[in-house]
Chains A and B, each alone.
Chain A
Amino acid sequence: MTRFLRYLVPLAIFFVLVVFLYRGLSLDPKLIPSPLIGKAMPQFVLPRLQEPDATISDKDLLGKVSIVNIWASWCVSCRAEHEVLLRLAQTGKVDIYGLNYKDDRANAQRWLSQLGNPYIVNAFDADGRTGIDWGVYGAPETFVIDSKGIIRYKQVGPLTVDILNTKIYPLLKELQPAT
């Protein structure tokens, strides 16, 4: 029996190692868990992208579920995600707010007129300060905010139809009780 153990124990250790290493293969080191989930969204007051004289603040998002999408015209994956955002806007399920991050106003406006505008309002964060408050480290990023202003979900990197179906829609359903 002990002889049997002598072979079994290393084999068991080997398999434990294999499980850990295999798990490591599918982990993305670029994904950092956000400390903001479950907390109130950071406060901000910013000029709007399309009406520079008007402002938008975090207070405007309260009272309903909303999505905040951080994007910029210089961001390549934002272009990839744009179709998905348009599709999400078309469903009419949720208001999408944009945070135009460290962008050029003219470029951003051209982007919206050429590719379509899925956003209710865009905040214009020229120096990226608000982005820092939101813990942005790789545009595009997308947050789901509940009606009380609590961040419920964060997506780093482009949204896909698959993410909409598996993450966003179920969460919206949970947060928006049928009226």
Chain B
Amino acid sequence: MNKSVFTAAVLYLLLFIAPARADVTLESFSFDDKSTELDFKEFIGKVRCLVCQNQSLADSDAELAHDLRDEIYEMYQAGKSKDEITTFLVDRYGDFVLYDPPMKPKTWLIWFGPFVLLLVAGFLLTRSLRRQTALPATEISAEERQLLDARLANKSQNQDKIQ
């Protein structure tokens, strides 16, 4: 087998290994039923670790992330709802812990800003397009017309020759 083909095949296979790690947590938490377990894993994947800010709580190996995972696990075991756990986290660390910012006046700019920009851009575009089509056709002088006619006549003669 060609060496580069082999490398490509290995790299391709590696692609499948990484996603499989996504539902492995750093500790082993035991749950009575599978759905709660999946729910828990999904939840901690959506909470930001405050120490390593570009990692989720599920991915981070920071001390605080360990503690918070334990805390959330216990709340899950106690039958607390996801909303209650979210409130617990937001009360302590602010909206910053959520990867999905809640809709409120302070975050309107984040939610609607892109659409406002899109509208403004669309307005400017249609306006400039309209203006372009509305431009009057430029007049050409008699001299230019003569030259143009001559060229056109010349061209049709040439085409006759080819045929």
Q: Which residues of A contact B (CB under 8 A)?
A: 29-30, 32-36, 102, 127-129, 132-138
Contacts and interface: CB of A to CB of B under 8 A. Distances in A.
Given A132-B71, A137-B51, A138-B51, A32 B94 contact: yes
A29 B50 CA distance: 10
8 closest A-B pairs by CB? A137-B50, A135-B92, A35-B94, A32-B96, A128-B67, A135-B93, A137-B64, A137-B51
A41 to B, nearest CB: 12
Contact of A34 (B53, B63, B71, B94): B94
- Pick from A29, A33, A127, A128 the residue with the most CB of B within 10 Å: A128
B63 A137 contact: no
Interface of B: 50-51, 53, 63-64, 67-68, 71, 90-94, 96
Contact of B67 (A32, A132, A134, A138): A132
B94 A33 contact: yes
Given A32-B93, A129-B71, 20 more contacts: A29-B53, A32-B96, A33-B96, A34-B94, A35-B92, A36-B92, A102-B63, A127-B67, A132-B64, A132-B67, A132-B92, A133-B92, A135-B93, A136-B64, A137-B50, A137-B51, A137-B64, A137-B93, A138-B50, A138-B51
Contacts of B53: 29-30
Contacts of A30: 53
Nearest to A134: B92
A35 B91 contact: yes
B137 to A, nearest CB: 21
A138 B64 CA distance: 9
A32 B64 CA distance: 15
Contacts of A127: 67
A166 B63 CA distance: 32
B93 A35 contact: yes
A5 to B, nearest CB: 12
A70 B84 CA distance: 27
Contacts of A133: 92
B94 A132 contact: no
Nearest to B96: A32
A160 to B, nearest CB: 22
Contacts of A35: 90-94
Nearest to B63: A102
Contacts of A132: 64, 67-68, 71, 92
Nearest to A137: B50
17 contacts: A29-B53, A30-B53, A32-B50, A33-B94, A35-B90, A35-B91, A35-B92, A35-B94, A127-B67, A128-B67, A132-B64, A132-B71, A133-B92, A135-B93, A135-B94, A137-B50, A138-B50
